[in-house]
Each structure stands twice: as C-alpha cells, then as structure tokens.
Amino acid sequence: MNTKADAVRAGLSRGLIEIKASLSNPAELLSGYLLMPAIFITIVFLLGDGEGEAGATAGSFVMVGGITMLLVMLGTATVTQVLGSEREDGTLLRARCVPDGMVGYAVAKTAHLAGMAALCLALMIVPGLLLVDGFALRGAVEVFTLLWVCALSLLALAPIGAITGALMSNPRIAVSVSMMPGIALVLSSGVMIPLEIMPDWVQAAVKVFPVYWSGVGLQSALMPAEYAAAELGGAWQLTRAAGVLALWAVAGFAVAQRVLRRAARHTSGSRVQEAREKAMKRGY
Amino acid sequence: MTSLSSGTPARAEAQATGALGRAVVEVRGLRMNYGTTEVLRGVDLTVRRGEVVALLGPNGAGKTTTIEILEGFRRRSDGEVSVLGTDPDRGDERWRARLGVVLQSWRDHARWRVRELVDHFGRFYAPYSEEGRTRPADTDRLLEVLGLTEHAGKRVEDLSGGQRRRVDVALGVVGRPELLFLDEPTAGLDPRARRDFHELIHRLVDEEDTTVLLTTHDLDEAEKLADRILILAGGRIVADGSAEQLTALVERESEVAWTVDGARHLHTTGSPARHVAELYRVHGDAVANLRVTRPSLEEVYLDMVRHHESGAAERAAAEFGKEIR
C-alpha cells in the first residue's frame, strides 16, 4: 500500500479545514478576502470620471493592478506569515511527529494557498467584470490566459514567501521583509503606475522580476483589446511572460525545498519553547 | 473502563514473571555539546519493553535534549543510540509511526476542533498497521478514554490547561505507539489535573502495551508515574532504580534532636539508635522532645537541585552520586 497516498489525502482535507476556518473568522474574512476588492473597486469609482475609451482603459488598468497586487500579497506576505507563525507555534513540529507528516503539511499548505487564491481572485474579478467598464474577459483564450498567469505567478512568488518565512525567526518582522520588495515591484513594474514614467534603468530592471510579467499576462487577459494590442505586443510577450515566470518558479522551488528541509530539521520542542518565550518577552 | 486493544499487556506479564523485557531504548556514552558547552557527558540508559521510566533532573540538566535526541529531532555529538532497534538519526517513516511524542509545550492548532484534530493526525498512521496493532486508534474511543468526549466539538483554544494536555496525549497515542515520549507532561497543571493525568498514563500503559519514557523535574511525579527513575545531573545519569531502591540507597547520616533540662541539643550520626540508647543511659528521664530524622530521598534530591541551580552542577552531581551509593 502506498503510504504517501494517505498523507496526501490527509493534507488535502487539512487544507480544506483551514480554508473553512479562515472563512468562518470574521476578521480574517474581512482582511484576507474582502478588503482588497473593496479598495480597488472604490479606487476605480473615485477615478472613474473619464468617459469612453480612456475611462475604460484607466478603470481596467487599476483593476489589473489590484489583481497583481493580490497575487504578490498572497505569494509573499500570506505564505511568509503562515509558515513563520506555524513554525513558531509548533504546527510544523507536530507534522514532524507523525509519519509522512511533512508530505501532508506541504500538500495542505499548497491546497490552502490555491483555494484561498481562487476565492480571493474570484472576489476581485467577478465584481470587476460586473462593475468596471473595459475590464472584461473577451473570450475563451483570455480566460485560459488569466488562469495560467495566476497559477504561474503564484508558483513563482510562493517560494519567495516560503524562504523568508523559513529563514526569519520573528514571523511578524518576516512578513514585512517579504512584503516590501513585492510592493516596490508592484509600484515600479507598470501595473499600478504606467511604466513610461519610470527611469530607463527601472524599466529595464523590472523585466528580470516576476511581477512585471504577471502584469503583462493579466493585462492581455483583462484589458480592452486595443490597449493590449498597442501596449503589449501580442503573443510573443505572453510566451516570454510564461518563460520568465516558469524560470522563477523552478529556481524558487529548488531553493525553497532546501531551506524548508533545513528549517524543518531544526525545529524541536525546546526551540518552539524558546521562540514562545522570546515572543512573550517582546510582547508581539 | 474502555479498552483500546485486546492485546495482553507486556508490562503485567513482565511484572508477574519478573522477566526483563527486550530493550526498547539503549543509549551508550551519549554526548551533546552546544559550542563549547557540554550538556550531556556520556549518558548510559536502557528502557525495557513495558516499563515506565522517568528521567528526573533539575531544569537545565539536559533532559529535553536527551529526549529530543531519542525522538530523532536533534543530532547528537557522540555516542550510540538505539530506539526500537533503529538509530534515531536514520529513522524512517515506518519507525516514526511506532513512536508517540508529547512535547513540553504546544500552542498549535488553536482553532481546530478536538475531534477533527485527533482524527486528522490519526489518518497518517493508517498505512502503518502491524500485526496485533491496528493503526490508528479509533478516534471516538480514544476521546472517551481520555475523558474528552464532551469536549470533542470544542475548539482547542477554548480548553483548560488540563484538557489541552489531554489533547496532546491523544495526539501522542493516536498512532498506538510502542514507545511514548512524554516531556514534562504535567508542567503547569493544577494538582487535581495532575492526578487525573497520572491515572490516565497508567491506564494507557496497562491497556496499550506501551513503553513510556518521561521527563520531569519533580521527584513526586517520578515516584507516582514511574517503575524506575533515572536521575540526570551534571550531564550523566547519577542514579538508577525504583523509588524504594533509591530511598534505600540514601546513606546520609540521621539527625538526633533532644532537650535536657530545657537545653536543646542536636547530633548527627550514622547510628542513631545507639546514640539514643546512650542518651537514656546517661540522662534517663531527663531526655525530652526526642526526634530522629532520616533524610528522605526528596531532601537529598532537593539539595542536589539547589546546588545545581546555584551553578555548581558538576559538584552537585558528584556529591549526590556519593550520597546515594
């Protein structure tokens, strides 16, 4: 009998239980799921005086910026926070105490992140489609593009969050450490602020990082056809986006795997106890 | 009483026949250094099947380090260690499935419900059943044995300290372990919860054919729970035996106190009976308030702990070793 199959199934059910728990907690529901869509749809309506095509482009540009931001937050801040705090409170160690526990844990975290991302993205995208002019999925190709860009973006970003969460001893500081570069990239990669107004070196530099390419993919899926044709340069750009994101994902997973193994090996009862005492002394 | 298994308890068998069970844990010359600090300096210990063994020692003596090495969570600096026939540094998942671990402090899974949590961790053991040991234990029966049935639907964060600790034990034994590690199992519990907990461990051991190695800094707890006590101090095992055996080993001189004509006297001697006889021969009925005290194991142990905590760990261990042999 395959022993790993039980662990995978147990992991999937853990992911589901955790998503349910986060949805039944009002504070988490609000800050984790509803806040971002509310903010970005509000911004669109505050900016929304532009009539016709320009207005449609501006509105959908902001929404796409919001989705990119959401992906970055999920991949970095959320992953760091979950991993850091579960390392500190002993959840990770508990997983080590049972056979194949780490397999189950990894499956659970993946399922948790995927499920949470699907919900968050739906909460952002569906109201956007209904309320924001120009923000639309024109056909099956765009739906497909949206799905793979989101999936690949998370795969590229999550290892970064995981590495930070595994390396930093204070999960609360780790969250800001992993969020800061993400926000800097969101601001400089032409997803919130047009890229043209950035200095040339910034325009060149951001193309090395995943956030720019997530933006390119999402814009081509969700913005008006004219904008996509004029600004993004068609299928070639999408291929490059897929390539860069995949490269980050592969490299990230290779590093994350080693770092996580090390973190798991180094967790023990007395270390969890130490971390707890430190946290109590710090008061946060 | 609800039984989790129908197997014959090896413990009862071993106690009835006086035969020694096979060694479940064997440690020879275990050393552990953190940088230049030597925490363990050659620990030797054996735990046999069906035994409940307490590793007793002051805080900071290396009890947790020892147990974490045995659990496979920490790499030792030197020495030979075998747990269920395997070196913990090379233990695989099948080996892990035969162990139960209850660590010192847990605050994980606060938002999970009790039954949900126990059931979840039980699932990992399903592929690791062995002959005569179906894994995992039935969740509802386990909750019943642990007195958690009425709390099954509660969130872990809403439990009292004693209930929370019982959930920890449930998670430690849900895989029906052959060997259970308990690290300071009753630290932070009130006396009543503590007594309940001791009863619970006895029940589990009797019904489940589980060998137990626990750590504690409390002699009273070791006496109540364990068949055999190992005292760890100064990085070594300085005493090994049942509570009665250890008490008998205490050779410190007794104190004789008395008053004659209102004056109080105190004399320390290895033969108190002779001294008392002498007193009566000399003073006759003038001897009053006679009191003879033989130091208990507890006093000797507490002295050792005091020395240990005042920084003279090695000296304390050596002195204790002298007094007890």
Question: Quick one: pLDDT at residue B3?
Answer: 46
Number of A/B CB contacts below 8 angstroms equals 90
For A193, residues 6+ apart whose C-beta sits below 8 A from its C-beta are A187
Average pLDDT score over chain A: 86
Q: Band the pLDDT of A64: cuts 50, 70, 90.
A: very high
- Shortest CA gap A159–chain B (Å): 23
Q: Which residue of B has its CA nearest to A5?
A: B127
Contacts of A267 in chain B (CB under 8 A): 73
Identify the top-confidence range among A162-171, B118-127, B189-198.
Answer: B118-127
- Answer yes or no: is pLDDT of A88 > 80: yes
Separation of alpha carbons B20 and B10, rounded Å: 10
Separation of alpha carbons B59 and B49, rounded Å: 27
Cβ of A269 within 8 Å of Cβ of B105? The answer is: yes
Paired residues of B33 in beta bridges = B38
For A169, residues 6+ apart whose C-beta sits below 8 A from its C-beta are A275, A278
Question: Quick one: pLDDT at residue B2?
Answer: 45
Percent of chain A with pLDDT over 70: 90
Cβ of A91 within 8 Å of Cβ of B109? The answer is: yes
Separation of alpha carbons B318 and B303, rounded Å: 12
Which residue, chain included where needed, has tokens 């969101």? Answer: A186
Whether the Cβ atoms of residue B51 and residue B210 lie closer than 8 Å to each other:
no
- Answer yes or no: is pLDDT of B211 > 90: yes
Cβ of A98 within 8 Å of Cβ of B124? The answer is: yes
pLDDT digits (tens, 9 = 90+) for B171-186: 999 999 999 999 988 8
Closest listed residue to residue B175, CA positions, set B118, B214, B113? B118
Does residue B207 sit at the A interface (CB-CB below 8 Å)? no
Which residues of A lie closer than 8 Å to B, measured between beta carbons? 1-3, 5-7, 9-10, 13-14, 17, 21, 25, 86, 89-91, 93-94, 96-101, 104, 267-270, 272-273, 276
- Answer yes or no: is pLDDT of B7 > 50: no
What DSSP state is assigned to residue A151? H
- The residue among B93, B109, B184 with the most chain A CBs within 10 A of its CB, best to mutate, is B93
Contacts of B93 in chain A (CB under 8 A): 3, 99-100
Whether the Cβ atoms of residue A77 and residue A182 lie closer than 8 Å to each other:
yes
Question: Quick one: pLDDT at residue B8?
Answer: 45
Separation of alpha carbons B170 and A112, rounded Å: 25
Q: Which domains does chain B have, with CATH numbers?
A: 10-246 (3.40.50.300), 251-324 (no CATH)
Residue B241: helix, strand or coil by DSSP?
strand
R_g of chain A, CA atoms, integer Å: 20
Q: Which residue of A has its CA nearest to B116?
A: A17
Q: Which residue of B has its CA nearest to A17?
A: B112
Identify the top-confidence range among A265-269, B161-165, B316-320.
Answer: B161-165
Return the higher-pLDDT residue of A131 and B323. A131
Contacts of B123 in chain A (CB under 8 A): 6, 9-10, 13
Separation of alpha carbons A101 and A270, rounded Å: 19
Return the higher-pLDDT residue of B243 and B69. B69
Does residue B109 sit at the A interface (CB-CB below 8 Å)? yes
- Between the alpha carbon of residue A232 and those of residues A35, A73, A224, the distances in Å are 30, 24, 12
Cβ of B183 within 8 Å of Cβ of A269? The answer is: yes
Q: Average the pLDDT over each of A96-110, A203-217, A218-232, B205-219 and give the range with the smallest value.
A: A218-232
Whether the Cβ atoms of residue B105 and residue A90 lie closer than 8 Å to each other:
yes
- Answer yes or no: is pLDDT of A277 > 90: no
ipTM summary value: 0.82
pLDDT digits (tens, 9 = 90+) for A217-257: 999 899 887 776 666 666 678 899 999 999 999 999 999 98
Does residue B59 sit at the A interface (CB-CB below 8 Å)? no
Residue A194, burial from CB neighbour count under 10 angstroms (0-12, 13-18, 19+): exposed
Contacts of B110 in chain A (CB under 8 A): 89
Which residue, chain included where needed, has tokens 């008392």? Answer: B276
